[in-house]
Protein backbone atom coordinates (compact mmCIF):
# COMPACT_ATOMS: atom_id res chain seq x y z
CA UNK A 1 0.00 0.00 0.00
CA UNK A 2 1.27 3.48 -0.89
CA UNK A 3 2.57 5.29 2.19
CA UNK A 4 0.53 8.43 1.41
CA UNK A 5 -2.59 6.28 1.33
CA UNK A 6 -1.61 4.78 4.69
CA UNK A 7 -1.24 8.23 6.24
CA UNK A 8 -4.62 9.38 4.92
CA UNK A 9 -6.21 6.20 6.26
CA UNK A 10 -4.43 6.74 9.58
CA UNK A 11 -5.85 10.24 9.95
CA UNK A 12 -9.32 8.88 9.21
CA UNK A 13 -8.97 6.04 11.75
CA UNK A 14 -7.58 8.33 14.44
CA UNK A 15 -9.93 11.24 13.79
CA UNK A 16 -6.95 13.61 13.75
CA UNK A 17 -5.69 15.78 10.89
CA UNK A 18 -1.97 16.51 11.21
CA UNK A 19 -0.32 19.80 10.35
CA UNK A 20 3.00 18.00 9.91
CA UNK A 21 2.22 14.61 8.39
CA UNK A 22 5.82 13.45 8.83
CA UNK A 23 5.21 13.24 12.58
CA UNK A 24 2.41 10.76 11.98
CA UNK A 25 4.58 8.74 9.61
CA UNK A 26 7.32 8.49 12.24
CA UNK A 27 4.78 7.45 14.88
CA UNK A 28 3.58 4.62 12.67
CA UNK A 29 7.04 3.41 11.63
CA UNK A 30 8.34 0.34 13.42
CA UNK A 31 12.08 -0.19 13.84
CA UNK A 32 12.02 -3.22 11.51
CA UNK A 33 11.01 -1.02 8.56
CA UNK A 34 13.20 1.91 9.63
CA UNK A 35 16.38 -0.20 9.74
CA UNK A 36 15.76 -1.45 6.21
CA UNK A 37 15.12 2.04 4.81
CA UNK A 38 17.37 4.06 7.12
CA UNK A 39 14.65 6.39 8.35
CA UNK A 40 13.46 7.51 11.77
CA UNK A 41 11.17 5.20 13.74
CA UNK A 42 8.73 5.63 16.59
CA UNK A 43 10.71 4.65 19.70
CA UNK A 44 11.53 8.19 20.91
CA UNK A 45 8.02 9.38 20.11
CA UNK A 46 6.66 6.44 22.11
CA UNK A 47 8.74 7.62 25.08
CA UNK A 48 7.16 11.07 24.83
CA UNK A 49 3.66 9.67 24.32
CA UNK A 50 3.96 7.54 27.45
CA UNK A 51 4.48 10.70 29.53
CA UNK A 52 1.64 12.58 27.83
CA UNK A 53 -0.66 9.60 28.36
CA UNK A 54 0.25 9.38 32.03
CA UNK A 55 -0.30 13.10 32.63
CA UNK A 56 -3.61 13.13 30.73
CA UNK A 57 -5.00 10.22 32.72
CA UNK A 58 -3.64 11.49 36.04
CA UNK A 59 -5.12 14.95 35.53
CA UNK A 60 -8.52 13.59 34.54
CA UNK A 61 -8.92 11.10 37.39
CA UNK A 62 -7.53 13.58 39.95
CA UNK A 63 -10.21 16.13 39.01
CA UNK A 64 -13.01 13.62 38.31
CA UNK A 65 -12.65 11.61 41.53
CA UNK A 66 -11.79 14.02 44.38
CA UNK A 67 -13.08 11.45 46.89
CA UNK A 68 -10.36 8.92 45.95
CA UNK A 69 -7.31 8.63 48.17
CA UNK A 70 -3.84 8.79 46.60
CA UNK A 71 -3.46 5.02 46.73
CA UNK A 72 -6.72 4.44 44.84
CA UNK A 73 -5.77 7.03 42.24
CA UNK A 74 -2.43 5.28 41.73
CA UNK A 75 -4.12 1.89 41.32
CA UNK A 76 -6.67 3.33 38.91
CA UNK A 77 -4.00 4.99 36.79
CA UNK A 78 -1.92 1.80 36.71
CA UNK A 79 -4.92 -0.16 35.42
CA UNK A 80 -5.47 2.42 32.68
CA UNK A 81 -1.98 3.00 31.28
CA UNK A 82 -0.78 -0.63 31.28
CA UNK A 83 0.22 -2.28 28.02
CA UNK A 84 -2.81 -4.57 28.02
CA UNK A 85 -5.23 -1.62 28.03
CA UNK A 86 -3.26 0.19 25.32
CA UNK A 87 -3.13 -2.86 23.05
CA UNK A 88 -6.90 -3.31 23.45
CA UNK A 89 -7.43 0.28 22.29
CA UNK A 90 -4.92 -0.16 19.46
CA UNK A 91 -6.78 -3.25 18.25
CA UNK A 92 -10.09 -1.41 18.43
CA UNK A 93 -8.64 1.41 16.34
CA UNK A 94 -7.24 -1.18 13.89
CA UNK A 95 -3.72 0.20 14.12
CA UNK A 96 -2.49 -3.09 12.70
CA UNK A 97 -3.79 -1.94 9.32
CA UNK A 98 -1.68 1.23 9.31
CA UNK A 99 1.51 0.44 11.24
CA UNK A 100 4.53 0.56 8.91
CA UNK A 101 6.57 -2.61 9.38
CA UNK A 102 9.01 -4.69 7.35
CA UNK A 103 7.75 -7.57 5.24
CA UNK A 104 9.55 -10.00 7.54
CA UNK A 105 7.87 -8.60 10.64
CA UNK A 106 4.53 -8.65 8.84
CA UNK A 107 4.97 -12.32 7.91
CA UNK A 108 5.80 -13.04 11.56
CA UNK A 109 2.44 -11.61 12.63
CA UNK A 110 3.55 -8.06 13.36
CA UNK A 111 0.20 -6.53 12.46
CA UNK A 112 -1.45 -8.40 15.31
CA UNK A 113 1.47 -8.17 17.75
CA UNK A 114 -0.02 -6.50 20.81
CA UNK A 115 3.28 -5.05 21.98
CA UNK A 116 3.94 -3.40 18.60
CA UNK A 117 0.40 -1.99 18.55
CA UNK A 118 0.57 -0.63 22.11
CA UNK A 119 3.91 1.05 21.38
CA UNK A 120 2.48 2.52 18.18
CA UNK A 121 -0.46 4.00 20.09
CA UNK A 122 1.86 5.71 22.56
CA UNK A 123 3.92 7.07 19.67
CA UNK A 124 0.77 8.46 18.05
CA UNK A 125 -0.09 10.27 21.29
CA UNK A 126 3.41 11.74 21.25
CA UNK A 127 3.01 12.80 17.63
CA UNK A 128 -0.29 14.55 18.34
CA UNK A 129 1.36 16.38 21.24
CA UNK A 130 4.23 17.58 19.03
CA UNK A 131 1.90 18.56 16.21
CA UNK A 132 -0.97 20.20 18.10
CA UNK A 133 -0.06 20.50 21.78
CA UNK A 134 -1.12 18.96 25.05
CA UNK A 135 -4.85 19.74 24.92
CA UNK A 136 -5.30 17.96 21.59
CA UNK A 137 -3.27 14.98 22.77
CA UNK A 138 -5.30 14.81 25.99
CA UNK A 139 -8.54 15.00 24.00
CA UNK A 140 -7.42 12.01 21.93
CA UNK A 141 -6.41 10.04 25.04
CA UNK A 142 -9.68 10.66 26.87
CA UNK A 143 -11.80 9.99 23.79
CA UNK A 144 -10.33 6.50 23.66
CA UNK A 145 -9.99 5.84 27.39
CA UNK A 146 -13.03 7.44 29.05
CA UNK A 147 -15.24 4.35 28.98
CA UNK A 148 -12.41 2.28 30.48
CA UNK A 149 -11.80 4.96 33.13
CA UNK A 150 -15.44 4.95 34.25
CA UNK A 151 -15.55 1.15 34.27
CA UNK A 152 -12.38 0.80 36.33
CA UNK A 153 -13.32 3.59 38.73
CA UNK A 154 -16.66 1.90 39.46
CA UNK A 155 -14.94 -1.21 40.80
CA UNK A 156 -15.20 -1.65 44.57
CA UNK A 157 -11.56 -2.70 44.80
CA UNK A 158 -9.12 -1.13 42.37
CA UNK A 159 -6.45 -3.75 42.93
CA UNK A 160 -6.07 -6.36 40.21
CA UNK A 161 -7.55 -9.83 40.92
CA UNK A 162 -4.14 -11.45 41.43
CA UNK A 163 -3.24 -8.93 44.13
CA UNK A 164 -6.61 -9.34 45.87
CA UNK A 165 -6.31 -13.14 45.80
CA UNK A 166 -2.74 -12.99 47.10
CA UNK A 167 -3.75 -10.76 50.02
CA UNK A 168 -6.70 -13.07 50.81
CA UNK A 169 -4.71 -16.30 50.75
CA UNK A 170 -1.95 -14.80 52.89
CA UNK A 171 -4.54 -13.63 55.40
CA UNK A 172 -6.51 -16.88 55.50
CA UNK A 173 -3.87 -19.58 54.90
CA UNK A 174 -0.50 -17.81 55.13
CA UNK A 175 0.32 -19.04 51.64
CA UNK A 176 0.54 -17.61 48.14
CA UNK A 177 -1.54 -18.79 45.17
CA UNK A 178 0.39 -20.69 42.50
CA UNK A 179 -0.30 -20.25 38.78
CA UNK A 180 0.33 -22.75 36.02
CA UNK A 181 -0.06 -22.24 32.25
CA UNK A 182 -1.92 -25.39 31.26
CA UNK A 183 -2.60 -24.77 27.58
CA UNK A 184 -1.65 -22.61 24.61
CA UNK A 185 -3.66 -22.43 21.39
CA UNK A 186 -3.52 -20.44 18.16
CA UNK A 187 -0.68 -19.22 15.97
CA UNK A 188 2.64 -18.24 17.53
CA UNK A 189 2.06 -14.54 16.81
CA UNK A 190 -1.49 -14.55 18.21
CA UNK A 191 -1.73 -17.18 20.97
CA UNK A 192 -4.40 -17.78 23.59
CA UNK A 193 -3.15 -19.02 26.95
CA UNK A 194 -5.03 -20.95 29.63
CA UNK A 195 -3.95 -20.67 33.25
CA UNK A 196 -4.97 -22.52 36.40
CA UNK A 197 -4.55 -21.23 39.94
CA UNK A 198 -3.84 -23.47 42.95
CA UNK A 199 -4.08 -22.72 46.66
CA UNK A 200 -2.41 -25.28 48.91
CA UNK A 201 -2.27 -27.65 45.95
CA UNK A 202 -6.00 -27.41 45.20
CA UNK A 203 -7.28 -25.92 41.95
CA UNK A 204 -9.60 -22.96 42.46
CA UNK A 205 -10.06 -21.62 38.95
CA UNK A 206 -9.02 -21.46 35.30
CA UNK A 207 -8.90 -18.59 32.86
CA UNK A 208 -7.90 -17.76 29.29
CA UNK A 209 -6.35 -14.69 27.72
CA UNK A 210 -4.15 -13.34 24.96
CA UNK A 211 -1.21 -13.16 27.34
CA UNK A 212 -0.08 -15.34 30.23
CA UNK A 213 -0.67 -12.45 32.60
CA UNK A 214 -4.24 -11.94 31.37
CA UNK A 215 -4.98 -15.67 31.67
CA UNK A 216 -3.70 -15.61 35.26
CA UNK A 217 -5.84 -12.56 36.04
CA UNK A 218 -8.96 -14.32 34.76
CA UNK A 219 -8.05 -17.45 36.73
CA UNK A 220 -7.67 -15.30 39.86
CA UNK A 221 -11.12 -13.79 39.24
CA UNK A 222 -12.59 -17.30 39.02
CA UNK A 223 -10.83 -18.29 42.25
CA UNK A 224 -12.20 -15.23 44.05
CA UNK A 225 -15.73 -16.11 42.87
CA UNK A 226 -15.26 -19.70 44.04
CA UNK A 227 -14.00 -18.59 47.46
CA UNK A 228 -16.90 -16.18 47.79
CA UNK A 229 -19.39 -19.01 47.14
CA UNK A 230 -17.81 -21.25 49.75
CA UNK A 231 -17.52 -18.57 52.44
Q: Going by C-beta distance under 8 Å and a sequence separation of 6 or more, which residues neighbour residue 157?
A: 164
Spell out the per-residue pLDDT of the chain, length 231, in tens: 455 889 999 999 999 999 999 999 999 999 999 999 999 999 999 999 999 999 999 999 999 999 988 988 998 999 899 988 999 999 999 999 999 999 999 999 999 999 999 999 999 999 999 999 999 999 999 999 999 999 989 876 666 788 889 888 998 889 999 999 999 998 877 889 999 999 999 999 999 988 898 899 899 989 988 888 876
Question: What Cα–Cα distance (Å) separates residue 101 from each residue in 22, 42, 88, 98?
Answer: 16, 11, 19, 9
Q: Structural domains in the chain?
A: 3-153 (1.10.1520.10), 161-230 (3.30.160.20)
What does the alpha-carbon distance between residue 102 and residue 145 come to, in Å, rounded to a whole number? 30
Residues noted as catalytic: 50, 122
Whether the CB-CB separation of 110 and 101 falls below 8 Å is answered with yes
What does the alpha-carbon distance between residue 171 and residue 6 come to, in Å, rounded to a whole number? 54
Amino acid sequence: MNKDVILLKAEEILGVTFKDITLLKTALTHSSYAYEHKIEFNEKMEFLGDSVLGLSVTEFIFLRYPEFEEGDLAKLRANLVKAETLSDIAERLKLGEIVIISSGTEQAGGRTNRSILADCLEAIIGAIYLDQGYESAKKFVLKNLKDKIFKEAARKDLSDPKTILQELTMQEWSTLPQYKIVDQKGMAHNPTFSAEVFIDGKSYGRGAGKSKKKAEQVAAECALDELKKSS
